[in-house]
Structure formats: C-alpha cells, structure tokens
Amino acid sequence: MLPPRRVRRVTGPLLIALLVTGVVLLPVLAAVAVVASLFLPGRLRALRLLAFALVYLGLEVAGLVAAGLLWVLAGFGRRLSTPRSRAMHYTVLRLLLDACMRVAQRLFALRLVTDGDSWSPLDDGVPGSTNAMVVLSRHAGPGDSFLLVQTLMNRDHLRQPRIVLKDLLQLDPLIDVYLNRLPNHFVSAGPAAGERAEAAIADLARDLGEEDALLIFPEGANSTPQRRVRAIQRLRERGLVAAARRAEAMRHLMPPRPGGVVAALQAAPHADVVLVAHTGLEHLSTVRDLWRELPMDKTLHLRWWFVPASEVPRDEEQLTDWLYRWWETIDAWVTTTSAAESGGRPALG
C-alpha cells in the first residue's frame, strides 16, 4: 500500500543527505567500484553504475529544489494549475530527462536510431503547429517510457505529455511531485483498476490542446513471454477467440487492450494518432537481465507512424480491429528489425 503524501515527502531531505554522503565518500566509493569492476564482466561495470546512480540522485535533488522554487513562484502553490506554471514544470522536466538520457547513453553505450519517417516533418517544433496528439506505444524493456516521454518533450517536438501511471511510481519523489502537479493520473491496483484507468484516460483526453500528447501503452505492462501467454489465455476465457488467434500470430507483442484507446479516441475526436515501436531492450525483463547486459553497447531502433484524426475510426468495434491491425504492423516491423540486427536470423518470439 502506498504511504500517504506527507510521509512520501520525507524522502526529499533523505535524498539530499544521501547525495551529500555520496559526494563526501566519492573517492572511496570510486576506488571500491574500480576494484569490483576487475572481477565483473564488462568494462568498468561497477564504476559506470556508481556514476549513473550519483548523476540520477543529483538530478532528483536538483529537480526537487526547482519544484520548491516553482511552488513559490506560483504564489506558494495557489497558481500551480495555470498554463504558465505548467509550462515551467514541463521545461524543468524536459531538461532533467535530457540530461538523464545523455548520461545513460554515454555510460551504457546506447545509441538511438529513428527508422523510417517520423511524424516530425508534420511538427516543426513550434507549439500549436499541429493538432492534439494521442500516442500509442509498444511497452517492452526497462526505461522505455522515460525514453518516449523524453522524445516527445525534446526540442524537435515540444509536446506536453499526459500519462496514466501505476500509483507505485509515486515512490520516486521527482515523479511524485511533478506528475501530481501536471495533468496525469495515477491508478492503484485492484479489481476496478481497468475501469478507473479508462475513466482517467477519457478525462485527460477530453481537453487535449495543440501542445499536448496523451501517452498510452495499450499492452498495459512490459511485454514478457509469460505475460503474453496469460493475456492470450484471458482472451480465450472471455470468448474472444478471433482476438486470441490474432494475438498468437504476433511474435513479439502482447495483445492490446482496447479499452483505454477507445476511451481516449472517443473523448478526443480532434486528436491525431502517433503509433510508436521500438526494439533493443525487450529481452531485459528482470534486474538479473539488466546486470548481465551492462554496459549494454546497443542500438535502440525507434519507428513512428502518423495517422490524422480524420482517418481514425470512432466505433468501438472498428477501433478495436484498427488497433489490432496496427499492432500486427508493429509486430512485423519488430520481427524485421530484430532479424536485421541478428544478421538476418529471425528473432525468436
């Protein structure tokens, strides 16, 4: 169960104390990390992890300090919901995410490549240059949501993302403070979680503006072989045999859950749709997988498809079929890209 907000706020001073301790003990920690790296596979694995941990901790503290200043500038919290205050919060988040991604790419030897046509030719980086946007993304691998949010917010696109997240993510102080001040929604686990998420998605979509992007992961969680099997089994138990067969034919993706997508696109008929696929991190499902792969030395491929609002169906049944067809397209792209990365050998699903 998530602790109440006043208890979670105690983590702020604790992070500052932890950062100060890390800086004071840095020579000792660095020496220990170098020695430990000699006994670990990979190049300077422990030292890279130490560096990233300290940078991440520093960014958390810097973000919380900035949040305090923004709270004061917003009339001690009275004007936090104004467009100006929201824009300032998004700017700070963009800068923090940019810094975090640059450091991660350098330390873990990651390279990001955008394949094919992006929607960016339709968005010249000037807010208000295109419609509101609903972004539907594959969910696979650690940190992919951070990568996607950072891409949406960078200087090429300058979008203000809205997200429906699991409530446990509020245990991260930076996420807790910023995303509760901005139009996002945290959903707790439970029998009615799906219905609450769909209602929240509809609320967030209803007033989407030209600078906004509502981000949805239709699979609901990171894709793993076990989750994929369970998801297909649930379709069969509900009598959705045709959907189960289509899901079985997809080698890499889990079956999409249409409820949130339908709620968003019916609540925001004015919004364009961007579909996102990525590959390179999907086989990293556990902490053990991450530890084994560091430093990663990987190329992450990203692919975007743009669908104007006028071409998006509105009927629930048609939307469900439309979503499955796009998921089949994304699955085919992942198969082709994975085969190319492995030297022409098709990747196992």
pTM, two decimals, is: 0.88
Q: The dihedral of CA 115, 119, 121, 126: what is its sign? A: negative
∠ Cα 249 333 347 (to 5°): 70
Instruction: Tell me whether strands 160-166 and 272-279 are parallel, antiparallel or unpaired.
Output: unpaired
User: CA dihedral in degrees (165, 168, 172, 173; nearest 10)?
Assistant: 90
Q: What is the DSSP letter of 136?
A: E
Give, for all 349 residues of the chain, the pLDDT tens digit.
788 888 888 888 899 999 999 999 999 999 999 999 898 887 888 999 999 999 999 999 999 999 999 999 999 999 999 999 999 999 999 999 999 999 988 888 888 888 766 555 344 444 444 689 999 998 876 677 888 888 888 866 788 999 988 888 898 999 999 999 999 998 877 767 778 889 999 999 999 998 899 999 998 877 778 888 999 999 999 999 999 999 999 988 999 999 999 999 999 999 999 999 888 776 666 667 667 777 667 788 888 898 999 999 989 999 999 999 999 999 999 988 877 766 544 443 3
Instruction: Tell me the CA distances in angstroms from 82 to 14, 78, 85, 129, one per residue in order.
Output: 30, 9, 5, 21
